[in-house]
Amino acid sequence: MKTNSFYIFLMRSVKFLFLVLMDFLSDSSDEEKENLKDILFTPDGKGVFEMLKSPYICFRCGRALSDDFGFCTDCLSRPVFFSLTYARHITAYGKKQRQFINQWKFKRNRIFAVSAAEKMFHAYKENFKDLAVVPVPPRKERLISAGFDCVNDMAFILKWCFRLKVLTPLIRIDSEEQKYKSFAGRTDKSRKRYALKKNSKIRQQTVVLIDDIMTTGGTLEECAALLKSAGVKEVYALTLFYA
Ligand SMILES: [Zn+2]
């Protein structure tokens, strides 16, 4: 796989252009601008993507462990992952990461996708090799209200700047459709939130699901189960943060 300083250069240029434009167009305070600049240009995104101190992680869910236990107690006593082989993350979701997500998702600083995708690509290279990437699809309402989706944006950059193979076999089932189900149906853990597109050619592949944050792992597992039912050989996951 080629990764190409050219694309890295392109990223830097995009960020730089963004900053120049922002100076002209934006009404954010100088402090906010400084903060954005730090996140975009420091190697670890001003601590947002700082790796955890502990070298040990749970083999299955990827959360940090205090010692070389192999698996965390959650994965041993009440496992979430059956279809998903394992998940990996850049770092834990703390205060800095929350601010980052806030700025990105809700204040709509779409440029953050560039930093996130860069970090994601490095994590991908450390953990996987030549596997196709499958973004977890967003809610339709969210897409309409925000006008974009963080994970989609990341996937776009991974595809066009880092040359990863991106597949989109999944769709999100709208909560509209769930409205008509019984209350029990909606709270039931087995409720379906995702579905497969028709004619998605993913049989016999091994793929990496990507998402911004893993909380319980339920979303990743649901997507992995769907993909496996469509004949995918093995499913891994990579997220920016885990809660
Ligand atoms: Zn675990």
**Helix intervals (H) in the chain:** 5-25, 30-41, 73-77, 95-101, 112-127, 140-146, 150-160, 175-178, 183-187, 218-229
Å from CA of 189 to ligand 1 middle: 20
Å from CA of 58 to ligand 1 middle: 5
Reported as a pLDDT band with limits 50, 70 and 90, residue 106 is: confident
Q: Which region holds residue 163: left if phi is over 0, alpha if psi is between -120 and 50, else beta? A: left
Å from CA of 75 to ligand 1 middle: 4
Two structure tokens written together for 195: 């579905």
Question: What Rg value do the Cα atoms of the chain yield, rounded?
Answer: 19
What's the predicted TM-score (pTM) here? 0.85
Å from CA of 125 to ligand 1 middle: 22
Could you give the count of Cα atoms lying within 13 Å of 154 in the half-sphere of its Cβ? 30
Å from CA of 27 to ligand 1 middle: 44
Handedness of CA 220, 1, 17, 48 (dihedral sign): positive
Domain boundary assignment for the chain: 5-242
Residue 155 dihedral angles phi and psi, to the nearest 5°: -60, -40
Handedness of CA 79, 235, 131, 153 (dihedral sign): negative
Are the C-beta atoms of 136 and 151 separated by less than 8 Å? yes
Handedness of CA 43, 49, 54, 60 (dihedral sign): negative
Å from CA of 61 to ligand 1 middle: 4
Question: 127-178, pLDDT tens digit by residue?
Answer: 999 999 999 999 888 788 888 999 999 999 999 989 999 999 999 986 655 4
Reported as a pLDDT band with limits 50, 70 and 90, residue 183 is: low
Q: Name which of 213, 196, 190, 243 is nearest 63 in CA terms.
A: 243
Cα distance from N-terminal residue to C-terminal residue, the chain: 31
**CATH no. of 5-242:** 3.40.50
Å from CA of 35 to ligand 1 middle: 33
- Whether pLDDT at 17 is above 50: yes
Å from CA of 200 to ligand 1 middle: 31
Q: How far apart are CA 78 and CA 90, in angstroms?
A: 24
Å from CA of 128 to ligand 1 middle: 19
Å from CA of 114 to ligand 1 middle: 29
Two structure tokens written together for 152: 């989609």
